[in-house]
Amino acid sequence: MTSSDAHIELSVVIPAYNEVERLGDSLERIIAWLRDQPWRWEIVVVDDGSSDATAELARNVLQDVQMPTQVLVNEQNRGKGYSVRRGMMQSNGRLALFSDADLSTPIEHAADLRAAIEGGADIAIGSRQTVGSDIEVHQPFLRETAGRMFSAVQRAILGTGIRDTQCGFKMFTREAVETVFPHQKLERWAFDAELVFIAQRLGLTVVEVPVRWRNSPATKVNAIRDGLQMVADLWQIRRLHSNLRPSSAD
């Protein structure tokens, strides 16, 4: 962290792949909300090797922002998990939030996640399956059913107790970022479950926070192909990280 980046309260990290159609509006909404906050903030966009003008768009929108910003570009498409890890590790805030580029979860819910962390959590994650959540636009039946099945299988294999590991809206303390992300191995869709499993194995407190959520029809997840791979990845997560223990137990 440089002196110019000192005392940043919140970094917002946005992984983006071919998001030129949606990213501009999302960034404007994020900036508008952040400007109403009484503390310093930062925006980090990670372009995952896009073939469109995603990075250029991000630079144009952020060029006049009077707060720290970063636009990171992967040389090739590596996956959402890789992009999130890169952005979170290069962010500077006391708190770091990663959010999907389509803002399926409104940025205003960052205040709810921040409140959960101030209440003692190390990691607060948006949830579509807890009491108080509000699904404004549902996913297609097949994809929503596959998501609920994955949630049940995830809890059975990993034992996290978390109902919704896959909502793309998660906030970490700086200490949690530095503790969890160096262990992350997966670069594609199951990385969310991996982060939760790593955190719990290391003794960190993860809480679910109900959010309002709206499905985006432009999602890049294939319910069947990616869903089967994600279930296989759950066994890999368990194999990779079951030996982790809190540092105090070493």
Provide the residue ranges of all domains of the chain, joining segments of one domain with +: 3-241
Identify the CA nearest to 233 among candidates 134, 169, 166, 162.
166
Q: Is 204 left (phi over 0), alpha (psi -120 to 50) or beta?
A: beta
Assign 6 a pLDDT band (cuts: 50, 70, 90): low
Q: Which residue has the tokens 């409140």?
A: 115
pLDDT in tens, 13-71: 999 999 999 999 999 999 999 999 999 999 999 999 999 999 999 999 999 999 999 99
What are residue 170's phi and psi, to 5 degrees?
A: -140, 140
Check: CATH 3.40.50.720 for 3-241? no
pLDDT in tens, 188-244: 889 999 999 999 999 999 999 999 987 776 665 655 566 688 889 999 999 999 999
Degrees, nearest 5: CA angle 56-61-62:
100
